[in-house]
Structure 1
């Protein structure tokens, strides 16, 4: 045997190292998305932030999407339009709208509910089964969400009259992701994940371009408003790294490791988002920490195999 050949143990260790590397990179990218949205909103409207995010992601993936168009049938095109809408387009606008009244750190925590929405949507519309563990996790996470909704300055927990309704934009985005992942799981057996990501973004790219340049003041702000170029730079990072590249890395990680390991990025994203928020001067109250722990613990219980 040649001396430069790797043993099975070495290969396994190398694969584990790659998987952990992808996990950490993804957590940093996705966890930083919320502070980038916040920076974009300092100049641009929620609609402009959402549309530009899609434009940046769709344009950077054109080399991957256009060559694959010729191999699609009508059913795939229809499903890819739906995936583009619920997996990227609509959530981009919802997250931007939510962060006009919600801190970036708490938005990151609410985003952790996505795996549980995958379970709920799957049970309601795709005939998958909710287990007892899923139900327990949902209940615990729901308690955490309620705590996060009602906490306010000057009290530990607040009351139901203090609910920040903008959090529901994030939960609606999580529900969109739940629909998206179930569609990919049950209706795209024949397409590779990278192709799904690239083509679905291409499907919604024209709508984002038309809205951004025909129905908003984005072009005017970009040339006339101080700080607009810098804000657009943050949004470019958001689209290219936080949407396009991150989705490709996630798909690679699923192959290098396992879907269960890949899903653990869900628990790291809120930590990164909270760190960025605290660094940026956001304040978390005692009740927030109770809610955060309940959400993450509930998602862990409900998503555990």
Structure 2
């Protein structure tokens, strides 16, 4: 198991912020892409493109995969595929703002899944930070009270699956090459997505320039680059930290929606962003810098 140090953890958390920015921008791209592409077909295209590019770029590593790598990649890839499938299908029956909140509840699930798998309890302030972050996400995304329908239940399932995905990456990336693990999870996610898309959706191969931009951006940037960074970064940080940092996706998604889609910016969004930031500071520093200041003053 990799022993974490503060410098590596800091770089890892900074890298995960980049992932959150990329995923935040993906909300706008997906929103536009759904005007032309069906959800499951879009997912299959993004994973096919990402897995092919990844295999070509890292072909030397790809040749060295073993049975243990394949099993780990299949498990992580299944969680990745099923989370996206539940999310995209659920979005057809609920609002985007409600889904953003319900999906982000994975930030609360991750510490407890990590605890269950590793038998090591997260720090109490990390658990507190997840609930603080959840409150912030609620302020940022919810416009009215929450009432659950079929789409919302699928989205809650999606949140659980994303939590399992983050936790499984945290577990396997300590024992396997992160690049190999990324390649394999994308390949398996592509295989699962293709099968489900063929079974449940009409396949339309007539794609416009805008449609190709959507699948290429989602495959090359939001999937290949983002998941590669995430998998490598989680080798040097905890699953709980990763979940809290990645919850910034909701913040960046809101900002991109305001800038590119012309959505309104409200005081409630500001409050939500500040609360999320407090949650991240709580998880990252555990407010130790306050006690250091007190010690300095006494001296």
Q: Would the TM-score normalized by the shorter structure come out above 0.5?
A: yes
Q: 1:214 to 1:84 in 2, by over 3 A?
A: same
Aligned counterparts of 1:284 and 1:266: Cα–Cα separation in 2: 21
Please tell me whether the aligned partners of residues 84 and 204 of structure 1 are also in contact (alpha carbons under 8 angstroms).
yes
Q: Pick from 243, 247, 252 the counterpart of residue 227 of structure 2.
A: 247
Q: 1:166 to 1:285 in 2, by over 3 A?
A: farther
Q: 1:106 to 1:288 in 2, by over 3 A?
A: farther
Match of 2:169 in 1: 184
Match of 1:133 in 2: 125
Match of 2:262 in 1: 281
- Structure 2 residue matching 1:190: 3-state secondary structure: coil
Match of 1:8 in 2: none
Match of 2:217 in 1: 237
Q: Pick from 45, 55, 65 the counterpart of residue 48 of structure 2.
A: 55
Report the TM-score when normalising by structure 2: 0.71
Q: 1:286 to 1:95 in 2, by over 3 A?
A: farther
Q: Pick from 255, 273, 279 the counterpart of residue 298 of structure 1.
A: 279
Q: 1:130 to 1:48 in 2, by over 3 A?
A: same
Q: Pick from 20, 31, 44 the counterpart of residue 24 of structure 2.
A: 31
Match of 1:68 in 2: 62
Aligned counterparts of 1:206 and 1:245: Cα–Cα separation in 2: 19
Please tell me whether the aligned partners of residues 104 and 134 of structure 2 are also in contact (alpha carbons under 8 angstroms).
no
Aligned counterparts of 2:17 and 2:125: Cα–Cα separation in 1: 27
Which segments of 5 or more consecutive residues in structure 1 lack a partner in the other structure?
1-14, 153-158
Please tell me whether the aligned partners of residues 17 and 246 of structure 2 are also in contact (alpha carbons under 8 angstroms).
no
Point out the more displaced range, 190-199 or 240-249.
240-249
Which segments of 5 or more consecutive residues in structure 2 lack a partner in the other structure?
1-7, 287-299
Report the TM-score when normalising by structure 1: 0.70
Offset, 1:175: 2.8
Aligned counterparts of 1:203 and 1:273: Cα–Cα separation in 2: 27
Please tell me whether the aligned partners of residues 95 and 170 of structure 1 are also in contact (alpha carbons under 8 angstroms).
yes
Q: Pick from 212, 218, 230 the counterpart of residue 197 of structure 2.
A: 212
Give a deviation string over 1:219-256, Cα, whole Å, max 9, x none. 2xx42xxx74422421221121111122223456678x
Aligned counterparts of 1:195 and 1:52: Cα–Cα separation in 2: 20
Please tell me whether the aligned partners of residues 144 and 291 of structure 1 are also in contact (alpha carbons under 8 angstroms).
yes
Match of 2:181 in 1: 196
Q: Pick from 71, 74, 84 the counterpart of residue 92 of structure 1.
A: 84
Aligned counterparts of 1:167 and 1:295: Cα–Cα separation in 2: 22
Corresponding pairs, count: 274
Please tell me whether the aligned partners of residues 149 and 164 of structure 1 are also in contact (alpha carbons under 8 angstroms).
no
Match of 1:11 in 2: none
Please tell me whether the aligned partners of residues 101 and 137 of structure 2 are also in contact (alpha carbons under 8 angstroms).
no
Match of 1:79 in 2: 72
Please tell me whether the aligned partners of residues 106 and 163 of structure 2 are also in contact (alpha carbons under 8 angstroms).
yes
Aligned counterparts of 1:253 and 1:298: Cα–Cα separation in 2: 20
Aligned counterparts of 2:85 and 2:275: Cα–Cα separation in 1: 27
